[in-house]
Structures are given as structure tokens and as C-alpha cells.
């Protein structure tokens, strides 16, 4: 894996997630990121950006989500930033996946998936922005 970084700015629009996916794959190819790690990152980013688009804004016009991806020393680090309403995904309790579907409460599965795909997640609110850092060790 080569060291490198890329910053992707996306309008807050679900249609942009496909473009993000393509850019991440191209970045992965250029930097020889193993396919398993790249797949995990793409799936996690899909979930995170989808949540921002669906729940982060009352008015999406003129808003953006920024994803900065860096590969360094055997690690993929991605920082996702948005100026949507404050939301710490780490405060969402893990869903009880042993309960039958008909008895589960809505929500939380996407965040649960992101937690299981990444090695660590960190959240902070900084300068009126949500800043979520995802880390994945690359083996």
C-alpha cells in the first residue's frame, strides 16, 4: 500500500454516494489498498454519508459533506465533516440483533455496521461541524 490522501467534497444529495464510491475505488487502485479494506471503507462511507444526507439538514441546498481519506503506515484514516445538526453516532446504543425483526426499534443498524467494519471511530463537534474519524488497519 502506498501513502497518499484525497479530499472529496460532495453536495448533500444521495445521488452523490455513487460518485464517492467510484472515487474511493480509484484512490484504492492508485494506492494499492487491499480489496477487503477498500470494500469496508466504501461500505462504511456509504452508511455515514447516507445518514448525513437523510438526517443532517432541514435544508440541503448549498450544503456539502467532505471526506478526507489518508493512507499511511498500514492504516486507512477517513475524516468525514458536515455542518448538519449535531449528531454523535457513538452515542447510539448497539442494536440487539438477537431480538426478532418485528420487535426491534428502528435505526442504529447502519451505525452498528460502521462500527463493525472499522477498527475505531472518533467523533467531535468542532466549529459548528460534525467531525467523524474512521480508522481501518490494513493488513
Q: Which residues contact 43 (CB under 8 A, 6 or more apart)?
A: 113, 117
Domain that holds residue 101: 4-137
Instruction: Decide if pLDDT at 112 tops 60.
Output: yes
First to last CA, the chain: 10
Instruction: Decide if pLDDT at 107 tops 90.
Output: no
pLDDT tens digit sequence for 10-54: 999 999 999 999 999 999 999 999 999 999 999 999 999 999 999
Of the candidates 52, 41, 50, 25, which has an alpha carbon nearest to the alpha carbon of residue 114?
A: 41
Q: How confident is the model at residue 76 (pLDDT cuts 50, 70, 90)?
A: very high
Instruction: Decide if pLDDT at 105 tops 90.
Output: no
Q: What is the CATH number of the domain that holds 131?
A: 3.30.565.10
Sheet containing strand 75-82, edge to edge, reads 4-11, 64-72, 75-82, 129-137, 120-126
**Cα distance between residue 136 and residue 139, in whole Å:** 9
pTM greater than the 0.85 cutoff: yes
Instruction: Give the total number of structural domains in the chain.
Output: 1
Amino acid at each position: 500500500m502506498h501513502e497518499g490522501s484525497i479530499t472529496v467534497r460532495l453536495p448533500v444529495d444521495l445521488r452523490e454516494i455513487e460518485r464517492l464510491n467510484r472515487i474511493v475505488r480509484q484512490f484504492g487502485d492508485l494506492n494499492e489498498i487491499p480489496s477487503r479494506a477498500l470494500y469496508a471503507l466504501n461500505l462504511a462511507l456509504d452508511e455515514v454519508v447516507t445518514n448525513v444526507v437523510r438526517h443532517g439538514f432541514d435544508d440541503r441546498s448549498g450544503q456539502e459533506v467532505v471526506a478526507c481519506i489518508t493512507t499511511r503506515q498500514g492504516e486507512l484514516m477517513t475524516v468525514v465533516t458536515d455542518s448538519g445538526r449535531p449528531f454523535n453516532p457513538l452515542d447510539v446504543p448497539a442494536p440487539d440483533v438477537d431480538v426478532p425483526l418485528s420487535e426491534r426499534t428502528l435505526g442504529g443498524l447502519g451505525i452498528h455496521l460502521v462500527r463493525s467494519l472499522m477498527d475505531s471511530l472518533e467523533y467531535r463537534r468542532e466549529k459548528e461541524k460534525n467531525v467523524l474519524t474512521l480508522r481501518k488497519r490494513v493488513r
